[in-house]
Amino acid sequence: MAKINKRSWAEPYKMKMVELLKVTTRPQRVKALKEAGFNTFLLKSDDVYIDLLTDSGTNAMSDQQWSAFMLGDEAYAGSKSYYKLEKAIQDFYGYKYIIPTHQGRGAENILSQILIKKGDIVPGNMYFTTTRLHQELAGGTFVDIIIDEAHDPYNEFPFKGNIDLKKLEVLVKKHGAEKIPYVCMATNVNMAGGQPISIANLKELRAYTNKHKIKVIHDMTRVAENAYFIQQREEGYKNVKIKDIVKEICSLTDGCTMSAKKDALVNIGGFMGTNDWDVFEEARNLVVVYEGLHTYGGMAGRDMEAMAVGIKESVGDHHQKARVGQVEYLGKKMEEYGIPIVKPIGGHGVFVDAKAFLPHLTQDEFPAQTLAGEIYIDSGVRTMERGVVSAGRKPNGENYYPKLELVRFTLPRRVYTQAHMDVIAESVASVYARRNKIKGLKMTYEPKYLRFFQAKFEQIK
């Protein structure tokens, strides 16, 4: 007799358009991975069965979005689609003035140039690659002020994205508040494994920064996923709608940058928001140089339309429950198989601890890179290394040896089904079963910068 399962969610949508996948054989995958130098970034997407490389720009749009897409107004100036986007951002996020950009890094570039002066300090809750780079290029220095718990993969603290105000206080005392143009506050901290910040923490941050006249800039690419965790975990928010939590988060900040390719359910696009007219005016002048005129900023009219609809869909309670629920489903399934994963399970992906998975490999044998390759060979599932390869080298040429040596399973939104999740978990389990036989890699080609994108490897015999 069938047992009643604790099936907690089903997708609040059905499929309306599908994209066929190519099913490959193991010999084909062995060959493809070898040709790609054991780097999953260099695989052709055609050879991939389930693509968990990133959740950025890989979302499935809804029929409402596709329908809006067809309404895109491609006028160079004053496009109708721009006004719809502006209104959606004002309505759902509450920022007064917006500057559209082609994607998030375009907004980071402009904001950094306006707010950061040479010699400034930019504190934040953990770095992100492109964000930190733009801060540095503008003459600033990034300082990590995330709580210590964030660096421990097995600490189950519910808000590992929180900011340690004592660390901020130390910076203010050392450099003076005038050297700190803003605190860069990310909602759902990606590099910590998709971990949220709490409203309580954010309120403390707001009070402290108000006192010292420091701005709070919101890196809001996964704000709705963060809001979901607040609803589930923070006292007093159980009955508050995600829509309202998102708005509250934004109201505690002065401006934002957003890569809309994540939460906002589109394939391309981003924006910068601010409540400050002077910042807006400067941004409006700069955006023309880098991105496009301020009423399109490097986006096609149709992409602005799709984003306006996507923003609205992204703050739906049912949507987020299914979204984060699917990530949790995959994580729990892996745990059942005994796979070591980062805890608590984050909002956009599951992070497998490759050091614990392949304890017989030294970090110089690239355990996470090795594991990503083995999973691909086993099932055609593409994942990403987040370990020693991604960390790169110090200025003196030595390797950085990061504490976390992870393989990231990032879930695109609304793309894969529960059956796909099962295939993924089973594949990881089957690799886990033969983990002792797995040999490491050596690097045969290393580009000078951002080596994880293009490095090549060979199996150690």
Partner 1 sequence: MSERMRTLTEPFKIKMVEPLKVTAEEYRKEALKTAKYNTFLLRAQDVFIDLLTDSGTGAMSDKQWSGIMMGDESYAGARSWEHLESVVKSLTGMEYIIPTHQGRAAERILYSIIGGPDKVFISNTHFDTTRANIEYTNAEAIDIVCKEADDVASFAPFKGNINLERLEQLIQERGPKAIAAVIMTVTNNSSGGQPVSMANMKAVRKICDKHQLMMVIDGCRIAENSYFVKHREEAYSDKSYREIAQEMLNLGDAFIMSAKKDGLVNMGGLLTLKDKELSVKCQNLLIISEGFTTYGGLSGRDMEALAIGLTEVFDGDYLNYRIKSTAYLGEKLKEKGVPVVWPIGGHAVYVDAKKLYNQIPVEEYPGQTLAVDLYIKGGIRTVEIGSVMFGKYDEQGKLIAAEQELVRLAIPRRVYTQSHIDYVLDVFDDILEMRNQKNGYKITYEPQFLRHFTSHFEPINK
Active site residue 129: yes
- Single residue of 120, 291, 305, 374 touching partner 1 by CB under 8 A: 291
User: How far is residue 313's CA from residue 264's CA, in Å, rounded to a whole number?
Assistant: 8
> Residue 56 CB, nearest distance to partner 1 (Å)?
6
> Residue 269 CB, nearest distance to partner 1 (Å)?
9
> Residue 436 CB, nearest distance to partner 1 (Å)?
31
> Residue 412 CB, nearest distance to partner 1 (Å)?
8
Instruction: Say which of 16, 63, 76, 403 is annotated catalytic.
Output: 76
Is residue 369 involved in binding partner 1 (CB under 8 A)? no
Is residue 54 involved in binding partner 1 (CB under 8 A)? yes
Pairing of strands 141-144, 121-124: parallel
Residues 6 or more apart whose CB falls under 8 angstroms from that of 101 comprise: 107, 110, 269, 270, 271, 272, 287, 290, 291, 297, 298, 299
Q: Which residues pair with 51 in a beta bridge?
A: 382
Is residue 100 involved in binding partner 1 (CB under 8 A)? no
Q: Which residues pair with 381 in a beta bridge?
A: 50
Taking CB under 8 A as the binding criterion, the range among 201-209, 292-300, 360-368, 435-443 that sits at the site for partner 1 is 292-300
- Single residue of 33, 43, 352, 424 touching partner 1 by CB under 8 A: 43
Asked if 432 and 371 count as a contact pair (C-beta separation under 8 A), the reply is no
Asked if 171 and 121 count as a contact pair (C-beta separation under 8 A), the reply is yes
Nearest to 290 by CA among 143, 101, 127, 434: 101
**Structure-block tokens of residue 396:** 């003196």
Asked if 230 and 199 count as a contact pair (C-beta separation under 8 A), the reply is yes
- Single residue of 35, 78, 244, 360 touching partner 1 by CB under 8 A: 78
What CA–CA distances, in Å, run from 313 to 14, 165, 228, 349, 431?
Answer: 15, 34, 14, 20, 37
Choose between 364 and 446: whose C-beta lies nearer to partner 1: 446
Taking CB under 8 A as the binding criterion, the range among 75-83, 140-148, 228-236, 238-246 that sits at the site for partner 1 is 75-83
Is residue 58 involved in binding partner 1 (CB under 8 A)? yes
Is residue 77 involved in binding partner 1 (CB under 8 A)? yes
Bond from prior residue into 344 cis (ω within 30 degrees of 0):
yes
Is residue 450 involved in binding partner 1 (CB under 8 A)? yes
Indicate which residues carry an active-site annotation: 76, 128-129, 219, 262, 386, 452
Interface ranges with partner 1 (CB under 8 A): 40-46, 48, 51, 53-54, 56-59, 70, 72-80, 83, 102-103, 105-106, 109, 130, 133-134, 137, 267-268, 281, 284-285, 288-294, 296, 298-303, 447-450, 453-454
